[in-house]
């Protein structure tokens, strides 16, 4: 959902692609709510100006997408109010639309952006695991606002939002791109014709292209899809959490054949390193010395900034555990993210 820099094009392309997948599955547009920063399609460095594609030679997935919330309206508070159906809080914001659900409603949530330990990142703020869990608890125990909730989360450390937190019997089923302690990865990278800008994310590309094939008379249970994605997504470990009784269900249960895996791999890039990857290729692709020097300076500044951040975090950790060296491994573990 995050915009502002062309290197996050892959997130927006994933979101747009998911919209068309839902439409193809028979979900009417008035039952789909889209939050997207929406400033990449006309970005001067977009390799397909005025369009967004999610794979090489792909169709324009931006075309036809109805966006409800843009820019600064894409934030955790609005997201949670949409889930809770709190129309009053969204009056005068974007389209103002919310999920108007009851105990018979099945809700599907797809999120694509950066993440950290116990957080999902929006453009200018973060959604914390306890806030999301509190909202789900309220919807289940207090307001009775759903029958089932299925969530697909594309983000680094996305497993940390649910592991040991999400209850097993509240009819919520979650699939994440990565475990609690690892990065998610990008797909369709290292393609000169697209300026070496990654076009998608490995987890998202996999499940979306599987769903594309479902339109041709195929069938994919959530459990079967998970098993396939665990094989197809090679660099991170796709995880499932929550109520596994939902696993045998499917988005399109009336189809016939199980689907095969998509082939998407070119070069996979850690979501944490995508800016380095992009800037490095800008240096390589420069055709004159002035452009090359400017690109190299941009790259060097980014590397230096990351080094300073790492050194600062190292100093903080060293000071914090000075009196308790046995804690060193704990703070260097999966929930310590050095940018």
Q: Is residue 278 part of a domain?
A: no
Residue at 339 is within a domain: no
Q: Are residues 10 and 33 in the same domain?
A: yes
Domain count, the chain: 2
Residue 105 shares a structural domain with residue 229: yes
Tally of CB atoms within 10 A around 126: 16
Q: Is residue 280 part of a domain?
A: no
pLDDT for 35: 98
Domain boundary among 225, 246, 271: 271
Active-site residue list: 114, 156
Residue 148 bridge partners (DSSP): 106
Instruction: Say how far apart CA 110 and CA 61 lie, in whole Å.
Output: 16
Token look-up 């665990």 returns 230
Question: Which pLDDT score is estimated for 4?
Answer: 63
Q: Which two tokens stand for residue 240?
A: 């499932």
Terminal Cα-to-Cα distance of the chain (whole angstroms):
20
The reply to whether 184 and 295 lie within a common domain is no
Q: How far apart are CA 129 and CA 61, in angstroms?
A: 30
In terms of domains, do 222 and 146 share one? yes
Does residue 337 fall inside a structural domain? no
Whether residue 88 is found in the same domain as residue 222: yes
Pairing of strands 239-242, 172-176: antiparallel
* Residuewise pLDDT in 10s, the chain (339 residues): 444 689 999 999 999 999 999 999 889 999 999 999 999 999 999 999 999 999 999 999 999 999 999 999 999 999 999 999 999 999 999 999 999 999 999 999 999 999 999 999 999 999 999 999 999 999 999 999 999 999 999 999 999 999 999 998 899 999 999 999 999 999 999 899 999 999 999 999 999 999 988 755 555 789 889 989 999 998 899 999 999 999 888 765 444 444 444 444 445 555 556 565 555 555 555 566 676 567 667 756 766 666 676 677 677 767 776 766 655 555 554 443 333
Q: Which CATH number fits the domain that encloses residue 106?
A: 3.40.50.1460
Q: Rg for the chain (alpha carbons), in Å?
A: 20
Q: What is the pLDDT of residue 29?
A: 95
Is 204 inside a domain boundary?
Answer: yes
> Would you state the pLDDT for residue 282?
57
The four Cα atoms 213, 216, 222, 223 give a dihedral, to 10 degrees, of -80
Q: Do 243 and 298 belong to one domain?
A: no
- As a whole number of angstroms, the distance between CA 187 and CA 209 comes to 12
Domain range for residue 116? 6-271
pLDDT at 187: 94
Q: Do 265 and 301 share a domain, yes or no?
A: no
Please give the pLDDT value at position 94: 98
Structure tokens given for 89: 């809080």
Per the structure block, which two tokens stand in for 200? Answer: 């998608």
For residue 280, CA distances in Å to 44, 114, 276, 294 come to 18, 21, 6, 12
Q: Can you say whether the dihedral through the CA atoms of 77, 82, 86, 88 is positive or negative? A: positive
198 shares a domain with 316:
no
- Same-domain pairing of 231 and 199: yes
Say which DSSP state 35 is in: B
In a domain, 338, yes or no: no
Closest CA to 236 of 268, 191, 262: 268
106 and 253 housed in the same domain:
yes
DSSP secondary structure letters along 165-185: TS-TTSSEEEEESS-TTS--E
Same domain? For 21 and 53 the reply is: yes
Residue 281 belongs to some domain of the structure? no
Whole-model pTM: value is: 0.77
Same domain, 292 and 214: no
């Amino acid at each position: 959902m995050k915009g502002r820099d062309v290197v996050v094009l892959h997130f927006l392309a994933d979101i747009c692609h998911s919209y068309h997948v839902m439409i193809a599955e028979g979900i009417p547009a008035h039952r789909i709510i889209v939050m997207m920063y929406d400033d990449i399609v006309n970005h001067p460095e977009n390799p397909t100006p005025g369009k967004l594609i999610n794979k090489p030679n792909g169709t324009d997935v931006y075309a036809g997408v109805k966006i409800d919330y843009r820019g600064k309206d894409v934030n955790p508070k609005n997201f949670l109010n949409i889930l809770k159906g709190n129309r009053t809080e969204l009056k005068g914001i974007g389209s103002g639309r919310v999920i108007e659900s009851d105990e018979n409603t099945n809700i599907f949530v797809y999120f694509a952006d950066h993440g950290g330990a116990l957080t999902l990142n929006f453009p200018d703020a973060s959604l914390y695991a306890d806030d999301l869990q509190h909202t789900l608890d309220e919807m289940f125990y207090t307001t009775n606002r759903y029958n089932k909730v299925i969530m697909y989360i594309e983000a680094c450390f996305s497993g940390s939002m649910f592991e040991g937190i999400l209850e097993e019997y509240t009819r919520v089923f979650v699939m994440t791109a990565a475990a609690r302690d690892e990065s998610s990865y990008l797909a369709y990278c290292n393609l000169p014709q697209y300026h070496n800008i990654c076009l998608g994310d490995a987890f998202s590309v996999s499940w979306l292209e599987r769903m594309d094939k479902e339109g041709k008379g195929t069938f994919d249970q959530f459990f079967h899809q998970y098993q396939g994605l665990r094989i197809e997504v090679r660099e991170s470990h796709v995880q499932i959490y929550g109520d596994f009784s939902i696993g045998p269900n499917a988005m399109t249960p009336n189809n016939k054949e199980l689907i095969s895996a998509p082939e998407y791999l070119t070069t996979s890039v850690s979501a944490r390193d995508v800016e380095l990857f992009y800037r490095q290729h800008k240096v390589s692709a420069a055709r004159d010395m002035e452009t090359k020097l400017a690109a190299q300076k941009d790259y060097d500044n980014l590397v230096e900034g990351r080094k300073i951040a790492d050194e600062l975090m190292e100093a903080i950790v060293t000071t914090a555990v000075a009196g308790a060296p046995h804690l060193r491994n704990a703070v260097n573990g999966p929930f310590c993210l050095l940018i």
